[in-house]
C-alpha cells in the first residue's frame, strides 16, 4: 500500500486486545526477512535446540544490574539531598529488582536483611563505584547464571569487569541525567526504571486518496527514562550489551525505529514530550588492546521520525496480514541469511520445497513463545 501521508499518531486508552501485540524485535525480524519473522515470531516456531542462548541470558542478567544501578542512583541522591522519600523510592525499586533476581525464593525478611547487610558493607567502601558494584555482584552471584564452557566471552569475570567500566561512566551520566520520578514525595510514584508498556497506537494516514485509521497493539520494555538537569527535558536511556562497540554500532542509533518507538512510549508513560535518547553500550568482554568497553550515543527525534516509524510499522504489519496463514510462501530476504556473521538457523527450512516446509513447521519444529513483557 502506498501511504501518501501519516496525518496523526496517538496512543489511545481503553482498547482490549486478544493478541500478544507487536514488539520491536518482532517487527524488525519480519522486515529483515518475512519468512523468518513470521515463522519465528507470529507462529512462534523454532528448531528444538537445547543449547542455551548465552547472549540472551547474559543480556538479561546485565539488564538486572543496570536497573539496580538506576534504583541505587535514586537512593544515593536521596541520601545526598537528605530526602527520606527519595531514599525509600530507590530502596523499594532495588528490593523489587532483588526479589525478581531470586524469583521470590527469599522471604521478605531475608531479602531485607540482604539489603541491610549490603548497605552496611557499602558504607565501608570509599568510592561510589565500589558501593554500586557490591550490589551488582550480589545480583550476579545469586541470579542462577552459570558459565558455558563453550562461551569464553560471557564468563562471570568478564561480565563483572565490563560492569565496572559501565558503572563508572553511568555514575557520571546519572549526575546530569537523574532517573525520572513523577512525584518525589510518593513512594509508589511512577518511575523511569524498566517500564513495560502495552499500548494501542492509533495511526491515521492517507492512502489511495482516502483517510484511513489503523490501531497497532504495541508492546515492549523501556530500560530507563531520565531527566536532563540542563533543561528538565526527558531522555530515554536504552542499554545495550554488545561484542563490539565500533562506529557502525554508534551510527545505527541515529535513525533506529526502536528508539523512535520507545520515545513514543515514554511520552505516553510520563505524559510529557520525550524526543531524546541516550544509548548506553557495554562490551563483553572489555577489549584488551583497542576499542571501547563503554560507549554512548545521544540521538534526537523530530516529528517526521514518528511518521517514518509509523510507515514502517504499517508496511511490516501488512506483510504479516498477507502471509501469516501461509508462512511457507512468505518472502525470503536472503541478504539476511548470514546476518551478524552467523548462519540463520532456518537455512535448512528454506532449502526445501513448500510442502516440506509446511511439514517441518507443523511436525518437526517446536513452539517457543517470546515476549519482552515476560522478561
SS3 of the chain: CCEEEEEEEEEECCCCCCCCCECHHHHHHHHHCHHHHHHHHHCCEECCCCCCCHHHHHHHHHHHHHHHHHHHHHHHHHHHCCCHHHHHHHHHHHHHHHHHHCCCCCCHHHHHHHHHHHHHHHHCCCCHHHHHHHHHHHHHHHCCCCCCCCCCCCCHHHHHHHHHHHHHHHHHHHHHCCECECCCCCCCCCECEEEEEEEEEEEEEEECCEEEEEEEEEEEEEEEEEECCCCCCEEEEEEEEECCCCHHHHHCCCCCHHHHHHHHHHHHHHCCCCCEEEEEEEECCCCCCCCCCEEEEEEECCHHHHHHHHHHHHHHHHHHHHHCCCHHHCCCCHHHCCHHHCCCCCHHHHCCCHHHHHHHHHHCCEECCCCHHHC
CB closer to ligand SF4, 146 vs 340: 340
Determine if 336 is a binding residue for ligand SF4 (CB under 6 A). yes
CB closer to ligand SF4, 12 vs 345: 345
Smallest separation, CB 256 to ligand SF4 (Å) = 20
Determine if 46 is a binding residue for ligand SF4 (CB under 6 A). no
Smallest separation, CB 240 to ligand SF4 (Å) = 22
Determine if 350 is a binding residue for ligand SF4 (CB under 6 A). yes
Return the residues of window 1-40 that contact ligand SF4 according to CB under 6 A: 33, 35-36
Smallest separation, CB 39 to ligand SF4 (Å) = 7
Size of the site for ligand SF4 (CB under 6 A): 12
Determine if 292 is a binding residue for ligand SF4 (CB under 6 A). no
Determine if 344 is a binding residue for ligand SF4 (CB under 6 A). yes
* Segment near ligand SF4 (CB under 6 A); pick from 66-74, 190-198, 243-251, 344-352: 344-352
Determine if 347 is a binding residue for ligand SF4 (CB under 6 A). yes
CB closer to ligand SF4, 109 vs 325: 325
Contact residues toward ligand SF4 (CB under 6 A) are: 33, 35-36, 332-334, 336-337, 344, 346-347, 350
Amino acid at each position: 500500500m502506498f501511504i501518501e501521508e501519516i496525518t496523526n499518531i496517538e496512543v489511545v486508552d481503553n482498547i482490549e486486545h486478544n493478541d500478544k501485540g507487536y514488539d520491536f524485535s518482532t517487527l524488525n525480524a519480519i522486515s529483515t526477512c518475512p519468512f523468518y519473522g513470521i515463522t519465528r515470531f507470529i507462529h512462534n516456531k523454532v528448531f528444538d535446540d537445547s543449547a542455551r542462548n548465552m547472549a540472551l541470558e547474559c543480556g538479561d542478567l546485565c539488564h538486572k544490574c543496570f536497573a539496580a544501578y538506576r534504583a541505587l542512583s535514586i537512593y544515593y541522591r536521596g541520601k545526598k539531598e537528605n530526602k527520606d522519600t527519595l531514599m525509600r523510592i530507590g530502596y523499594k525499586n532495588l528490593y523489587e529488582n532483588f526479589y525478581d533476581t531470586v524469583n521470590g525464593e527469599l522471604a521478605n525478611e531475608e531479602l531485607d536483611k540482604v539489603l541491610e547487610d549490603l548497605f552496611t558493607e557499602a558504607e565501608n567502601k570509599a568510592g561510589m563505584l565500589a558501593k554500586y558494584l557490591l550490589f551488582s555482584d550480589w545480583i550476579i552471584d545469586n541470579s542462577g547464571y552459570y558459565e558455558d564452557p563453550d562461551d569464553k566471552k560471557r564468563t562471570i569475570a568478564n561480565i563483572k569487569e565490563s560492569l565496572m567500566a559501565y558503572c563508572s561512566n553511568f555514575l557520571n551520566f546519572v549526575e546530569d541525567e537523574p532517573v525520572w520520578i513523577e512525584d518525589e514525595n510518593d513512594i509508589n510514584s511512577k518511575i523511569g526504571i524498566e517500564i513495560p508498556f502495552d499500548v494501542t497506537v492509533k495511526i491515521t494516514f492517507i492512502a489511495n486518496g482516502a483517510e484511513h485509521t489503523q490501531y497497532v497493539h504495541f508492546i515492549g520494555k523501556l530500560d530507563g527514562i531520565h531527566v536532563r538537569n540542563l533543561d528538565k527535558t526527558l531522555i530515554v536511556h536504552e542499554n545495550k550489551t554488545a561484542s563490539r562497540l565500533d562506529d557502525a554500532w554508534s551510527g545505527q542509533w541515529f535513525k533506529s525505529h526502536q528508539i523512535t518507538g520507545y520515545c513514543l512510549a515514554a511520552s505516553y508513560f510520563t505524559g510529557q514530550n520525550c524526543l531524546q535518547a541516550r544509548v548506553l553500550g557495554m562490551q563483553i568482554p572489555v577489549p584488551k588492546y583497542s576499542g571501547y568497553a563503554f560507549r554512548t550515543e545521544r540521538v534526537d527525534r523530530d516529528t517526521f521520525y514518528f511518521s517514518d516509524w509509523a510507515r514502517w510499522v504499517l508496511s511490516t504489519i501488512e506483510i504479516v496480514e498477507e502471509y501469516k496463514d501461509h508462512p511457507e510462501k512468505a518472502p525470503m530476504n536472503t541478504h539476511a541469511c548470514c546476518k551478524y556473521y552467523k548462519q540463520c538457523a532456518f537455512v535448512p527450512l528454506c532449502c526445501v520445497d513448500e510442502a516440506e516446509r509446511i511439514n517441518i513447521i507443523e511436525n518437526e519444529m517446536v513452539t517457543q513463545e517470546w515476549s519482552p513483557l515476560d522478561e
